[in-house]
Structure 1
Amino acid sequence: MLLDGEEWSNRFAAIRHEAWRLETLPQYLVPQEAEDLAAFREGRSLAPYTASPYTERVSRQRVEGKYNGRVHIVTQPLSSYLEFEFSRYYGVHVGAGDDIRILDVTGRPNPLEGVQDFWMFDRSEVVLMNYEADGTQINRTVFEGDVSAFVEYQRIAVAESVPFEEYVDGGHPA
């Protein structure tokens, strides 16, 4: 099943316990970010990013005892997109209650090699995030089948990663 629009948004609004994402790409081409990303790459200053509907939802759900998290798999040197994402969004998202972790696989085997991006909701539904090689999203599809492999991918990703703040405080670029 393809997901878009309100049907996609409802997945986040309806979580009972957890929404969790695995990010594997060095770049995501998101139309809403194009202007800010271009300014960042050109060294122009950007208006501060402080909140969004995403951060407001995460904050509200955190107060309700719900969990939002992700692990982003990266290699050094970081792409300019990841530098942008780290410096513009991740700190604000963490401040809102998003548990963002980084799995740096520079110089070591990737324990999740070949696993594609996905969102998992309440460890019972998986939505596969389908992208072109350049990070342009193709679509989102509901995974039809046993989600236990994705629960294991989440376990591995969390076990092998570090919190975003620890990653950037450890001298890695942000």
Structure 2
Amino acid sequence: MLLDGEDWQRVLHGFSQSAFRLETLPAYKVPGEAEDFEEFLNGSRIDPSTYTSGWTDRLRAHTAAGRTVQRVHIVTRPLSDYLRYEFMYYEPHAMAGEDIRILDLTDRPNPGLPDQDFWAFDDSTVVLMNYAPDGTPLNRVLVEGGIDQYREWQRIAVAESVSFADYVKEHGWQ
């Protein structure tokens, strides 16, 4: 089943315990980011200590309610311009309560993870995030049944990754 509009928003924000995101692409063409991304390429940076957005507000609300939001982003070095841009936002997102982790496959084999982005909610609902090769969003598909493999991929991704803060400490990102 395709998820769009209000149906997608209900799933994305209606979880009761946990949300997990696996990101696999070096770049995403997110609607509405083009101008900010261009400004980033021209040297503009946000101040993570004062930055706020609808997403950071939701992260704070989820955390205050005892819910967890976690993501693992699979990367290889050198980081793409888009990943450097996205990493700039990871800092305030982490400060707002999101557990952001990085799995760098530059010097190691993939531990068996797919090249498919997905969200997993409350250990019971999985949504595939489908993109064109250039990172343009295509659609979101609710997985109906058979989510044990996604639970295993989540477990592997978390176990094999490091915290965003530790990754930046070791490798930097700018």
Q: Deviations over 1:129-160 (max 9, x none)?
A: 00001100000000122111000000000000
Distance 1:21 1:47, change over 3 A: closer
Q: Is the 8 A contact 2:113 2:157 kept in 1?
A: no
- Contact conserved, 1:36 with 1:46, CA < 8 A, in 2? no
| Number of the residue aligned with 1:111 | 111
Corresponding residue SS for 1:73? strand
- Quote how far apart the aligned CAs of 1:12 are: 2.7
Given that 2:113 and 2:153 are in contact with CA atoms closer than 8 Å, whether structure 1 keeps it comes out as no
Q: Distance in 2 between matches of 1:122 and 1:4?
A: 20
Question: Residues 21 and 119 of structure 1 are in contact (CA less than 8 Å); yes or no, is this contact kept in structure 2?
Answer: yes
Q: 1:16 is matched with which residue?
A: 16
Cα distance, 1:38 vs. partner?
1.0
Checking the alignment, whether the CA contact within 8 Å between 1:126 and 1:147 is kept in structure 2 is yes
CA displacement 1:80-125 (0-9 Å, x = unmatched)? 00001112x1000000000000000002111144340000010101
Q: Which runs of 5+ in 1 are unaligned?
A: none
SS in 2 for 1:150: helix
| Amino acid of the structure 1 residue aligned with 2:110 | N
Uncovered stretches (5+) of structure 2, i.e. residues with no partner? none
| Paired residues of 2:113 and 2:156 also in contact (CA < 8 A) | no
Quote the residue 1:60 is aligned against.
61
SS at match of 2:33: helix
- Length-normalised TM-score, structure 2: 0.94
- The SS at the match of 1:31 is coil
Give yes or no for the alignment of 1:132 onto 2:132: yes
Distance 2:155 2:13 in 1: 24
Identical aligned residues as a percent: 52
1:75 match: 76
Distance (whole Å) between structure 1 residues aligned to residue 75 and residue 18 of structure 2? 23
User: Within 1, Cα distance between the matches of 2:161 and 2:16?
Assistant: 25
- Measured in 2, the distance between the counterparts of 1:113 and 1:63 equals 31
CA distance change for structure 1 residues 159 and 95 in 2, over 3 Å: closer, same or farther? same
Question: 2:87 is matched with which residue?
Answer: 86
1:30, distance to aligned residue in structure 2 (A): 0.8
Aligned counterparts of 1:113 and 1:66: Cα–Cα separation in 2: 25
SS at match of 1:32: coil
Confirm or deny: 8 A CA contact 1:17 1:122 kept in the other structure: yes
Aligned residues: 172
Aligned to 2:99: 99
Moved >4 Å (runs of 4+): 46-49
Provide the residue aligned with 2:3 in structure 1. 3
Amino acid at match of 1:143: V
Local SS of the residue matching 1:71: strand
SS of residue matched to 2:62:
helix
